[in-house]
Amino acid sequence: MTATQNESWRAVSGFRNSYEVSDLGRVRSLTRMVETVRGPRKVRGRVLRSRINDSGYALVTLCGPSGDQTSYVHRIVAEAFHGSSEGREVCHGPGPRNDNRASNLRWGTHGENIGDSLRDTMDWHGRTRVLSDAELVVIFGAASRGGTYRSIADQFHIDFGTVGRILRRERSWKQRPILRVLETLSGRAGNPWLA
């Protein structure tokens, strides 16, 4: 992402003179003097490179007087642009979990956050992936024939945890009408849906 003239920067909570975060979800260090074993040293400011964890969230490591601290970028942005959390969670708008623009984030309850995370299924690249009813039938069929979560996930380019939630009919997946039909049919011998 390149800098824009309209990008707004604010201090990172707890790192006021060391780091800033932008409304576009970028974090930068500020030029500053740091104490080293050899004496004070000038550190040039730069935009930090974030890394994506296994769950698809962007992380940055911030260095402070008490040591390094790895932080979620969405939390840093929300605190800077939406105020304190008061025990609430950061909720993302539609799209990938690493879209950390201030306009895509809000504070919400745990239930709202779970609802948001279940709204979309993401593929391996963080793009929205909505599974059709036909694909759900194939997933159940593959599982009934002994397919592993990993092999099914590879076939549909989704996270293997999503496969598990579908097969266990957890969270929003239990609301899909086709899963209720499959559940009813699963007890019948010679089920054509699962063949």
SS3 185: helix
Mean pLDDT of 122-150: 77
Q: Specify the number of domains making up the chain.
A: 2
CATH number at residue 72: 3.90.75.20
The confidence score (pLDDT) of residue 79 equals: 95
Contacts of 102 (CB under 8 A, 6+ apart): 23, 24, 25, 77, 78, 80, 81, 82
| Residue 173, pLDDT above cutoff 50 | yes
User: Based on the domain organization, do 13 and 95 belong to the same domain?
Assistant: yes
| Residue 92, pLDDT above cutoff 90 | no
Residue 7 and residue 11: Cα distance in Å, rounded? 14
For strand 27-29 and strand 19-22, is the pairing parallel, antiparallel, or unpaired?
A: antiparallel
User: Based on the domain organization, do 109 and 172 belong to the same domain?
Assistant: no
Whether 20 and 7 have beta carbons less than 8 Å apart is answered as no
Q: Percent of the chain at pLDDT above 70?
A: 78
Residue 155 and residue 145: Cα distance in Å, rounded? 15
Count Cα neighbours of 144 within 13 Å in the Cβ-side half-sphere: 18
| Residue 171, pLDDT above cutoff 70 | no
User: Based on the domain organization, do 102 and 146 belong to the same domain?
Assistant: no
Strand order in the sheet with 19-22: 9-11, 19-22, 27-29
- 4 found inside a domain: no
Domain boundaries, position 169:
133-194
- Give the H/E segment covering residue 153: helix 149-156
Residue 77 and residue 2: Cα distance in Å, rounded? 17
- 125 found inside a domain: no
User: Based on the domain organization, do 85 and 156 belong to the same domain?
Assistant: no
User: Based on the domain organization, do 112 and 179 belong to the same domain?
Assistant: no
The confidence score (pLDDT) of residue 181 equals: 65
Count Cα neighbours of 122 within 13 Å in the Cβ-side half-sphere: 18
User: Based on the domain organization, do 145 and 190 belong to the same domain?
Assistant: yes
Is 190 exposed, middle or buried, given 0-12, 13-18 or 19+ CB atoms closer than 10 A? exposed
User: Based on the domain organization, do 166 and 88 belong to the same domain?
Assistant: no
The confidence score (pLDDT) of residue 189 equals: 44
Mean pLDDT of 36-50: 91
Last residue of a domain, one of 88, 119, 150: 119
Mean pLDDT of 117-138: 67
